[in-house]
Structure 1
Amino acid sequence: MRLTRHRRWMAPVVAAAAVGLALTACTGDVAEQDAADVDCSDYETYGTFDGAEVTAAGTILDLEADRLNESWADFETCTGISVEYQGSSEFEAQIAVLAEGGNAPDVGFVPQPGLMARLAAGGWLIPGSEGVEANVDEFWSEDWKQYGTYEDTFYGAPLMASIKGYVWYSPTEFEEKGYAIPQTIDELMQLSADIAAEGDHKPWCVGLESGEATGWPGTDWVEDYVLRQAGPEVYDQWVTHEIPFNDPQIAEAFDGVGEVLKSDEMVNGGIGDVSTQITQSFQEAGLPILDGECSLHHQASFYETFWNPEGGDAVSVASDGDVFGFLLPPVNAGDPLSVTGGGEIVVAFREADEVEAFRTFLSSDTWANNRVSLGGVISANKGVDPENASSELLVQSIEILQDPETTFRFDGSDLMPGAVGADSFWKGIVAWVGGESTAQVLDTIESTWPSS
């Protein structure tokens, strides 16, 4: 799963729209002035609309929601389309119910291809327009387009992206202690054992707590190991249930991850014993690195945002800074680069010109560069200039996604049916860290896979 950064979506979009109309009545002169200050040449292709409004919802909130709104502000000014966005901690759980009741937003930022498929199967989604599909064909790989496709119908373009499997560390500690960046998983485990043997702190800090989604950071570990140990073909067979969840190759990945997550010698630096992984929030779990209480933390590229919590001291993310990250290494040095990641698919629940204008803009290289330039995120859009990213690590992440030699696979739990990927897999991780055996957990998860 990807980061859950939420605020509640509720039907009060109508109320918000009413407030927006009231504000418009008071600020028309300001809007006209703003339009005069904006170069609208990049937005002429989307047309102009008189007082049109598009409602949007997703899992993005707080600072990232603010940046999202900023990323389309010029589009609003130049087209006359007002976009009302709300995020939700319950978006994934409620969107199908809202769609069935006719209360869905015009546009949804769906973070799980499996959920998008469910919405498409329910008949609630509007296929992507020619403009959206043309942008996807130009700016994304066929794999990314497929994540927005259901039963040969294209429904939506990707939005942002993340790379899973970074191992965050302190460059200063590595330099002072002579640690080398591991080139294989075995070297990573040897480094972990060496740190543990020093005896002054645990090598890893881990947080699996994420409200109703508790356990998802552990699924990211497993997915990274499956892709590296068993390869992309087995990974694809696993997420589509061509092989069972309790296949020996999946058990091998769990056991490999268990050398860290189930080991008292390896975790939980600066936090407590193994059991504290379940109660430690994923947002704060890596922070003990800054105090020298652990050395390593496995989390995605989006974790950069959490190194600088509100009110905290400034933390530099750079290869010579306070923290940086290297990708979880392959089994063998020199193996082709394989990464897991996530993102959102932009779907529509209402058929309207203004909705498709907005979706076409979001699928463009113009929007992707706008948003990446605002900081904290990356995109798999091939039209993005990596140098627009806000840090050395994010520049590197975009280059990885744009490299045709990279093997990329979407987050496995997000591809699986919701009963597994957003339920029994998460819960299985919690039970497994809590003491259940690999075989017991895998058999339980396998039993929950829908029969049709």
Structure 2
Amino acid sequence: MRLTRHRRWLAPAAVAAAVGLALTACTGDIANEEAGDVDCGPYEEYGTFDGAEVTVGGTILDLEADRLVESWADFETCTGITVDYQGSSEFEAQIAVLAEGGNAPDVGIVPQPGLMNRLAAGGWLIPASEPVEANTDEFWSEDWKTYGTGTADGVFYGAPLMASIKGYVWYSPAEFEEKGYEIPKTLDELTELSETIAAEGDHKPWCVGLESGDATGWPGTDWVEDYMLRLHGADVYDQWVAHEIPFNDPQVAEAFDAVGEYLKNEEMVNGGIGDVSTLVTEAFQTGGLPILDGECSLHHQASFYETFWNPEGGDANTVASDGTVFGFLLPPENADDPLSVTGGGEIVVAFREAEEVEAFRHYLSSDTWANNRVGLGGVISANKGVDPEVASSELLVQSIEILQDPETTFRFDGSDLMPGAVGADSFWKGIVSWVGGQSTPQVLDTIEASWPAS
């Protein structure tokens, strides 16, 4: 799961050049706010600090970064802590290099439990404080707490932050109504719908973007993970992620081939963009936008994609069942199968031990922060203290309710849980090679060979 998402954590110029970071500064108008304009009651438990600063790094960029900064503006005003966020699309690739060189930010918003475990194994992370852990126990399920706990040492390093539900299929409600399309209830019905759209000849059914800088290919892994869960169930999914079955197991091949019926099929993709080869050159942020121009009908992407329908931050395109665009969950194999979804999120880790750092992490683990951020729009959280009704769209309200429903079978994004050599490397690259023409056995054998021996 990933979101292409502002300072003192920057290395000196020579080091930054060596690691090739391309960073975008993002600061708020907090200095212009008067504490008297803010209700500081909800922030009293975090204490007050004189001139303290906390630097933060992550993958969150652009509009989402602006909203992130806004979400802690009152915290800054009331505590006196200046929070300096810097986002980078290269964060995942470079954070270990920065940590090893002593140049990591105070706080990292890490989008992969596998990466968190790598950082923990390097000895660079500070265990979470008692208040952070107490909030996690109160507001998050045990599964979510596990994602912030080191697999090797059992130490709790950080609380979850935001979340997403993968496997939404975005579409135009107006087109569905005009052409009499129905929301598919099974994977076979999704195939039938896709074939119907293709046969009509107006446009290709699906539009896809897999490009994401060093992480190009990750949206394709989301497809495979959704099919693994739906075709083979949660137990097999867990075995796959934990390497209790090999990556080239026939069940994995079946999921790849099912996805290939769309992604490797010239009749199915790439509507409004080009042929199959354009999947790996089209940015994931823009991959679904041909729906708005009637040049494709379907786009597979997570709940967080809501933000990209209005790239300038306006409200021209509404996300609603009767709006410009909406989404349905990728259906199950059988109509009566229980609701199973994949999803992702971030873990808030610390590289510096300081009271102001833990005060900030304490706030980010709270229901106060979660409601503030969700209310700003475009995202959800699995924090049980979130009121679903503060979400910015009908789809995101639904997504929060799904995460809070104890009957939902939820599984974290598989590539994010796998060792970095696989989940953030060979799996992503394998998707690119596979879409480019390599066979399923070739790709799966290569990924299996990359799995670390221990």
Displacement after TM superposition at 1:7 (Å): 11
- Secondary structure at the counterpart of residue 342 of structure 1: strand
Structure 2: distance between partners of 1:57 and 1:6: 6
1:133 aligns with 2:141: no
SS of corresponding position for 2:337: coil
Does the CA contact (< 8 Å) of 1:8 and 1:88 recur in 2?
no
Query: Deviation of residue 47 (structure 1)?
Result: 1.1
Counterpart in the other structure of 1:206: 208
Q: Does residue 1:375 correspond to 2:377, yes or no? A: yes
Q: What SS does the aligned partner of 2:11 have?
A: coil
Structure 2 contact 7–105 (Cα < 8 Å) conserved: no
Mapped pair 1:325 → 2:340:
no
- With over 3 angstroms needed to count, the CA separation of the structure-2 counterparts of 1:9 and 1:130, relative to structure 1, is closer
| Match in the other structure for 1:80 | 80
Indicate if the aligned counterparts of 2:157 and 2:349 stay in contact, CA closer than 8 A. Answer: yes
Pairing of 1:36-51 with structure 2 (within 5 A): 36-51=36-51
| 1:181 counterpart residue number | 183
* Residue 247 (structure 2) aligned to one of 240, 245, 254: 245
d(CA) in 2 for partners of 1:242, 1:54: 40
Equivalent in the alignment of 1:408: 410
Q: Given residue 10 of structure 2, which amino acid in structure 1 is its aligned partner? A: M
Any residues of structure 2 matched to 1:152-163 within 5 Å, and which?
A: 152-163=154-165
Which is further off, 312-321 or 209-218? 312-321
- Residue 3 of structure 1 is matched in structure 2 by 3
CA distance in 1 between partners of 2:12 and 2:75 (Å): 24
Q: What CA distance in whole angstroms lies between the structure 1 residues aligned with 2:303 and 2:60?
A: 15
The Cα of 1:310 is off from its aligned counterpart by: 2.4
* Runs of 5+ consecutive residues of structure 2 not aligned to the other structure: 14-24
One-letter code aligned to 1:152: G
1:270, distance to aligned residue in structure 2 (A): 1.1
Offset from partner CA, 1:311-363 (integer Å, 9 cap, x none): 98811111001110000000010211111111110001111111111101000
In the TM superposition, what is the alpha-carbon distance from 1:260 to its structure 2 partner? Answer: 0.4
Query: Runs in 1 of length 4+ with deviation above 3 angstroms?
Result: 6-9
Paired position in structure 1 for 2:301: 299
- CA–CA separation in structure 2 for the residues paired with 1:102 and 1:131: 26
- 1:106-135 per-position Cα deviation (integer Å, ceiling 9, x unaligned): 111000000000111111111111100010
For 2:104 and 2:7, how far apart are their aligned partners in 1?
Answer: 16
Aligned twin of 1:64: 64
Cα distance in structure 2, aligned partners of 1:404 and 1:121: 33
8 Å CA contact 1:8, 1:89 repeated in 2: no
Aligned to 2:22: none
**C-alpha distance in 1 between matches for 2:206 and 2:401:** 28
Matched residue type, 2:41: S
Amino acid at match of 1:200: D
Residue 412 of structure 2 is aligned to residue 432 of structure 1: no
Cα gap change, 1:109 to 1:199, in 2 (>3 Å): same
> 1:7, 1:60 within 8 Å by CA — same for their partners in 2?
no
* Partner Cα separation in structure 1 for residue 192 and residue 301 of structure 2: 20
- Following TM superposition, by how much is the alpha carbon of 1:4 offset from its aligned partner in structure 2, in angstroms? 2.0
1:171 maps to 173
1:168 is paired with a residue whose SS is: strand
**Which whole-Å CA distance do the structure 2 matches of 1:430 and 1:419 have between them?**
16
Using a 3 Å threshold, how does the CA distance of structure 1 residues 345 and 260 change in structure 2: closer, same or farther? same
In 2, Cα distance between equivalents of 1:340 and 1:9: 33
Deviations 1:197-246 (A, max 9, x none): 11121111111111111111110000000011111111111111111000
Matched with 2:101 is 101
Deviation of the 1:12 alpha carbon? 6.6
Give yes or no for contact 2:7–2:55 (8 Å, CA) kept in 1: no
Conserved? CA contact 2:204–2:270, under 8 Å: yes
Who is 1:221 aligned against?
Answer: 223
- Deviation string 1:123-149 (CA, Å, 9 cap, x unpaired) is 111111110001000101111000000
1:348 aligns with 2:350: yes
> Using a 3 Å threshold, how does the CA distance of structure 1 residues 385 and 276 change in structure 2: closer, same or farther?
same
Secondary structure of the 1:344 match is strand
In the TM superposition, what is the alpha-carbon distance from 1:98 to its structure 2 partner? 1.3
Tell me the residue number matched to 1:110. 110
Q: In structure 1, what residue type is equivalent to 2:213?
A: G
Give the whole-Å Cα distance in 1 for the aligned partners of 2:3 and 2:12: 25
Amino acid corresponding to residue 340 of structure 2 in structure 1:
S
1:406 partner letter: T
Change (3 A) 1:274 1:9: farther
Aligned residues: 439
Q: Distance in 1 between matches of 2:330 and 2:195?
A: 16
Instruction: Answer yes or no: is the 8 Å Cα contact 2:10–2:104 preserved in 1.
Output: no
**Separation of aligned partners in 2, 1:348 and 1:6:** 16
Contact 2:46 2:359 in 1 (8 A): yes
Is the Cα contact below 8 Å between 1:378 and 1:394 reproduced in 2? yes
TM normalised by structure 1 equals 0.94
SS for the counterpart of 2:78 is helix
Question: Secondary structure at 2:136's aligned position in 1?
Answer: helix
CA contact (8 A) 1:182 1:188 kept: yes
Provide the identity percentage: 84
Structure 1 residue 309: deviation in Å?
2.1
Task: Note the 1:223-302 alignment, pairs <5 A.
Answer: 223-302=225-304
Instruction: Return 359-368 or 65-74, whichever deviates more.
Output: 65-74
Amino acid at match of 1:335: D
In 2, Cα distance between equivalents of 1:74 and 1:213? 34
Counterpart of 2:312 in structure 1: which amino acid? E
